[in-house]
Amino acid sequence: MTDPGIYLDYAASAPLRPEAREAMLPFLEGRFGNPSSIHRFGRDARAALEEARARLALLIGAAPGEIVFTHAGTEADGVAILGRARQVRGAPVAISSIEHKAVLASAHAAEDDGTRVIVMGVDGNGVVRVDAVEAALEERPAVVSVMWANNEVGTLQPVGEIGERCRAAGVVFHSDAVQALGKVPVRADAVAVDLLAFSAHKVGGPKGIGALYVRRGTALRPLLFGGGQERGLRPGTEDVAGALGFAAAAQAAEAQREQAMARVEALRDRLEAGLRERVPGLLVNGAGAARLPTVSNVSVPGADPQALLMSLDLEGIAVSSGSACSSGAVEPSHVLTAMGVAPEVAGPSVRFSLGWGTTGAEIDRVLEVFPAVAERVRALAGP
């Protein structure tokens, strides 16, 4: 059997959990009805879809009617940002400078419609500055968007405080919680948040399905038009199998979260300590802030980033240079740039993202291989 290698890119996509596969199988085989049909096949599909919706809602402290299934987390972010901008014409939208490209691109699309975009800055650890949020709120934006946890450096954002300030100002607050779900507590009933975006495959569900939590009373314009499914915000025949797989994976991740994340955090800390000890000049980005237990972003000044990734891949170690959506980019990460990291440090960065399947033996192997790879790649780059 071929060696599968070491997978340390869980933030890009996690393996399908067995609970998700089991939940999906009946609707990939014999149960094929359209949930909008009124006959028994349709009613069967509708009942399963609503079960998935209720299970996901319970998990995040929401009402089932506040969960809208989407194609992915990207679409959920788009409906939240662009849908809100189109609902409140003339008002700006405020986003942090470290948002995922799904939020950034949606804000740019709103800008094309004539909406002004306010960009809120972060500190050197990648944490959104609350004073920047306060300044944005003075301009009465249609929505403020700050992600729950950053996908590149793992920093956790002060969403509780930001939500309270938005609520006090009467401004809708959106958070991209794609990376946070299943890793840290994410509850809509514990934070003053109006819109939350999720993605199934980040927690071990299937690719191609996400969800948007829309607090009751939050008005949005749809981006697509058709049969009116999903409260009219995501028309089109729903993916019943995907919804069931999403709910099952999210429930499994949450049930195992405390124990699994404590183990993973210990592995991440061991990885970082070992790399700092073995690789001269290596920096851990965002290390001064609270972070996801699963993410470690390190910079190796003097190394070519693409050569670093390819060399690790040849050694059987799969990592990322940041967001999977921009892995082909050669410019430094926009997240590290926003943090004030110099280009020569931000460019040669590597994101390790661990998950429930990561083992101590895999971390030991990385610590064995990475220093030699870094030295070799630095030597090839020259003085």
Catalogue the active-site residues.
325
d(CA 240, CA 78): 22
d(CA 158, CA 155): 10
Tell me the C-alpha to C-alpha distance, in Å, between residue 123 and each of 129, 130, 160, 285, 287.
6, 10, 18, 12, 12
Angle between helices 130-137 and 159-169 (to 10 degrees): 20
3 state SS of 362: helix
DSSP 42: H
Angle between helices 305-314 and 360-381 (to 10 degrees): 130
Residue 149: closest CA among 282, 298, 297, 274: 297
Angle between helices 73-87 and 101-112 (to 10 degrees): 30
Is the Cβ–Cβ distance between 124 and 288 less than 8 Å?
yes
User: Can you read off the two tokens belonging to residue 44?
Assistant: 């069967």
d(CA 326, CA 100): 10
d(CA 92, CA 142): 6
Sign of CA dihedral 380, 335, 370, 204: negative
DSSP 326: G
